[in-house]
Structures are given as structure tokens and as C-alpha cells.
A and B are shown apart, each in its own frame.
Chain A
Amino acid sequence: MTLSENFKSGDFPIQLLIRMSPPWVFIDELRRFTESFCACACPGQDREAQVALAVHELMQNAVPHAHGEEVELMLEVSRERDVVAIRVSNRCSDEDYQALRERIERMNGEPDALAHYVQMMRENPASTRGGLGLARVRFEAQLEISVRREAGRVIVEACGPLRAPRLPAVGGIHG
């Protein structure tokens, strides 16, 4: 089977690796690029906007903590295994890592992603920066988030099914 035939049959993972030195302004371009990349890599799955949103939020979290050093983004999609995975890594302090780990543990302790997201909206004053991004990724992008530390770097991974169920229309008044 040729590479082209393999690709069409979808039986091998497609990977994207980007190593970027901040600044912040490139995050918009990364989001647009990953949305296009995902649309090409997994056509018909309607997952590209959610993946792009997750990339944006995870990179936005990473850049301020990288202290001007590189941030690495890895995106992998596998149609055969029905998986999409985003990994963002950067150098960070022990304090930053511990704080992030505690936030993610607390989030994952709440089985209802939407309930946690709404709780974060209540807890994080609108006048302050941050506090919503991870909850947004978990609920809106339907990705489970984990964190680990290797060789002085923090690695945040968001992983979920490529064929995610459509979120139901919940709450509010839909006119």
C-alpha cells in the first residue's frame, strides 16, 4: 500500500510538531494553522475548531510561564485509533508546576466538565486574568487534560476522541 493509500485509509497517525519562541502574538497564527491542519488531517470529523481552541488556550497558558524560552506544541491525530492529542511543553518553575498540577487534579476530580467550567466562571473574577482556559478546553473541546514534569519541563496533554459526540444544547433560552 502506498503512503497516499495509507493516508486515505486513515490507518496511521498524523503528527505536527512546532517549537516556538514566544511572543504572544503568534498564538493567533498557530490557532489558524492548526485548524486548517486538523481539517485536512481528519476531514469530515468536524473537530478542527475544537482542536484549534484547545491549542490556543494551552499555548496561551504556556507562554507567560516559559519566561521567554521555547514552547513546544505537538498535535497528533489518528483516525484508526480515534484519537486526537495535543501536547504543550515548556520550562517552568517547581512552584508553577505544583500550582498547575493542583488545578488540573481539582478539575479532574469533578466528573461533570460543564459543572466545573461554570464553577470556574463563578470563582475567577472577570477583572483578573486567567482561570478559565483549562476548564474551557475540557468542556468545549471535549478533551481530558493531564500534566507531568520531565527534565525541568512541564508537559500538558489534552487528549480525546477524534469522533467526539456533539455537545447537547443545554441551559439558557434558545430563541
Chain B
Amino acid sequence: MANPSFASRMPAIQVAEEKYSAHLGLDPHGIRIHFRGTISTANPATVLNPFVDSVHEHVLETSAKEVRVDLTQLEFCNSSGFKSFIHWIERIQQAPEPKRYRLRFVSTKERKWQRTSLLALSCYGVNIVAIDGAP
């Protein structure tokens, strides 16, 4: 169970656009970032990168070693939106070694693009990206 006092201190880090949203939440495994909808605008990085930066700062403050990135409700992400995950990996790579953490992506086989996109992302973020689901 998530610690209620920890949960009450958790900042409201979220972003919402017309077709997609993302927010930081807490589950029994720790920090979980939920993405929903369809990321398909021309330049979603202008919205998503600041969100990723806020999440990253929060994770560093809490010294968490793993963050779950839940894509199960994400219908689609275009290549421009995909770059925000690359940005996130780069932020982790730039952090001091003891502060680095893992991104554990939670995917669904219902969204078949997720498997191949995460395979590619795992090759970019070796030792940072882990993948659950969508065998």
C-alpha cells in the first residue's frame, strides 16, 4: 500500500491537452505516470517536455529507483511525442550515477505499436528502460 502521508505530500504534476493527458500518481510499487489519449499534435514536446522535467525533479527529490510509465490507456504516440520519452532518458543519463532511476514502461498488447516503439526505446536507453507487458 502507498504511504498515505507520502501521497498527501505528492505534488500535482499533470498536463492535459485536447487529445491527451498525463499525470503523476502513486501505486503500491511507487511513482506511476499515467498517459492517456492520443499524442499526435505537431510539436507535443513543447507541452510534454516541461511535464517530464517536473516529474524528473520530483523523482530525484524522492530518490526513487524506478518509475512506472503506464501507457495502457495511450492509444497512439507520434514520433514527435516519442521524443519526450527520449528527452526523459537523456535527463536520467545526465543525472549523477547514484541518482539515476529506471523507467519501467507498462504497455498493453491491445496497442500493438507499443511493443515495437518500446523495443527501439530500450535500445536507446540501455540500463534505463524496462518493459512490462505486451509480449
Contacts and interface: CB of A to CB of B under 8 A. Distances in A.
Interface of A: 24, 27-28, 31, 46, 48-50, 52-53, 56-57, 60, 64, 114, 117-118, 121-122, 124, 126-133, 136, 139-140, 167, 169-175
Nearest to B132: A175
Contacts of B73: none
Q: Top 7 closest A-B pairs, CB basis?
A: A172-B122, A126-B87, A49-B112, A171-B123, A132-B79, A140-B116, A173-B130
Interface stretch (B1-9, B38-46, B55-63): B38-46
A139 B116 CA distance: 8
A136 B78 CA distance: 10
A170 B122 contact: yes
Contact of A170 (B43, B119, B130): B119
22 contacts: A24-B42, A50-B112, A53-B113, A57-B78, A60-B40, A60-B78, A117-B123, A118-B120, A121-B83, A126-B84, A127-B45, A127-B49, A129-B45, A130-B80, A132-B83, A133-B79, A136-B82, A167-B119, A171-B126, A172-B119, A173-B127, A175-B131
B interface bracket (residues with beta carbon within 8 Å of A): 35 or more
Contact of A50 (B102, B104, B111, B116): B116
Contact of B123 (A50, A132, A170): A170
Interface string B85-129: 011001000000000001010000001110111111111111101
Main secondary structure of the interface of A (DSSP, over half): helix
B76 interface: yes
B119 A169 contact: yes
Contacts of B87: 126-127
Contact of B80 (A50, A52, A122, A129): A129
Contacts of A170: 119, 122-123
Nearest to A171: B123
